[in-house]
Amino acid sequence: MSDDYRNMWKDLGLDLKSHDMLLEILGKAYQDIYMAQKDRPEQMSYFDFVMSEVHGLRIKELMDEKAAGRKIIGSYCVFVPEEIALAGNATLVGLCSGADFAMEEVERLLPRNTCALIKSTFGFKLGKVCPYLEASDMIVGENTCDGKKKAYESLNDIVSNLYVMDIPQMKTDPGRSLLKAEYYRFKEAVENLSGVKIDAAGLKKSIEIVNNKRKAIHRLYSLRKADPVPISGLDALLVNQVFFYDNPVRFTESVNKICDELESRIEKRTGAFPEGAPRILMSGCPMAVPNWKLPWIIETTGAVIVGEESCVGERGARNLTDDSGSTVEELMEAVVDRYFNIDCAIFTPNPDRFNHIIQMYKEYRVDGVIHFGLQFCQPYLMEAIPVEKALESKNIPVLRIETDYSMEDVGQLKTRVEAFVEILK
């Protein structure tokens, strides 16, 4: 690792020893899970590179942006609108993490029965191993699930720049009004942070940038409907994960390049998995880097994941923002409309999510759905039961998995997934 990077991490206040340890674990997991796959598209080399430099070159780029006067905003949820951040001369980065770290210290601040995603957020801060978090000029927490909402009160004691955004819990007119008011408050906070007044031209441009990123990933999603599937679910998940870190324009180009390659693979009938491999739809909690455990288990049974009904997947990326408005007010309305459609399990009731799962089941020619719920995640574990019932009533095979970030249950999960995949064959 270059001295430049080490100095940069040190300046950011990282604990170099713990950080080395994290990079080693991440690198090993990547080798064992990603590089062990066969018949990967060549263009995945870009995403391999991004991952190898995820704490290096990308952080250097963010630091250069900061030096040039741009602001960095960290977020834990797809409800934080990237369009508004970009229009206010700020870059939005995802902060959710998918690995346990500094758990002893974490459990001094949070109850043991808190979901792994929240604990991981605290672990990365307390262990001083996340350069994205340390590089952020503003960290946005959102009132989604109770776990996050209350955890942000404690996070506020250990970071100096937390901004909390309220999020509605019902898809009603007052719910939409709340989201709109919160997005205007966020716009003002971004303007205050960067000193840049958001105007219609800037907002229109940023909508276009984010829409292009979404259009590229929609293209990727639709290519996964082919049989044989031209890309593994693990690789597609990685692209979905990089969505939250990379420069948006470069990301769009890279996804379009891989889509070009996938189109030619479809023409030649070259698949990441053989034709007729059981097709799985993953549904449930978001999977942040390096939470690759369950997809890895699924795909090593010979089944292939063809879609993710998840915030790191279609739930997060599916709708575009209408860019036809010509005033800030019109464009802000379009932003509110787009995000108000997100069917996170924090909403009650949440019929859109059920319909979306069934729609994806049909479109992706899915054989079975695996519902992934993080242990102690009330919204998704609660919703998993009616999801299962709704799918079973349509004779759609479904497997409900509850797990965390540890590797202790790998054997048990393998047995359950293998038995499920057997039924689908």
Where does this chain bind ligand BJ8 (CB under 6 A)?
A: 77-79, 115, 117-118, 144-145, 147-148, 285-286, 311, 342, 344, 346, 374, 377, 379-380
Closer residue to ligand BJ8 in complex, CB, 284/325: 284
Q: How far is residue 377's CA from residue 366's CA, in Å, rounded to a whole number? A: 26
| Structural contact between residues 271 and 39, judged by C-beta atoms closer than 8 angstroms | yes
Handedness of CA 323, 325, 326, 329 (dihedral sign): negative
Q: How far is residue 425's CA from residue 382's CA, in Å, rounded to a whole number? A: 29
Closer residue to ligand BJ8 in complex, CB, 30/122: 122
Residue 307, strand partner residues: 281
Smallest distance from ligand BJ8 to CB 328, Å: 25
Smallest distance from ligand BJ8 to CB 40, Å: 28
Closer residue to ligand BJ8 in complex, CB, 30/152: 152
Closer residue to ligand BJ8 in complex, CB, 225/400: 400
Q: How far is residue 72's CA from residue 243's CA, in Å, rounded to a whole number? A: 16
Handedness of CA 65, 69, 73, 78 (dihedral sign): negative
Smallest distance from ligand BJ8 to CB 147, Å: 4
Burial 81-117 (b: 16+ CB within 10 A, else e): bbbbbbbbbbbbbbbbbbbbbbbeebeebbeeebbbb
Closer residue to ligand BJ8 in complex, CB, 91/144: 144
> How many alpha carbons lie under 13 Å from residue 334 in its C-beta half-sphere?
22
Smallest distance from ligand BJ8 to CB 246, Å: 18
Instruction: Record the tokens describing residue 9, joined without a space.
Output: 């991490």
Smallest distance from ligand BJ8 to CB 119, Å: 9
Pairing of strands 398-403, 279-284: unpaired
Closer residue to ligand BJ8 in complex, CB, 58/353: 353
Beta-sheet strand order (sheet of 138-143): 90-94, 71-75, 138-143, 162-166
Q: How far is residue 238's CA from residue 225's CA, in Å, rounded to a whole number? A: 18
Closer residue to ligand BJ8 in complex, CB, 75/254: 75
Closer residue to ligand BJ8 in complex, CB, 52/169: 169
Residue 374, strand partner residues: 403
Smallest distance from ligand BJ8 to CB 401, Å: 13
Smallest distance from ligand BJ8 to CB 222, Å: 22
Smallest distance from ligand BJ8 to CB 104, Å: 20
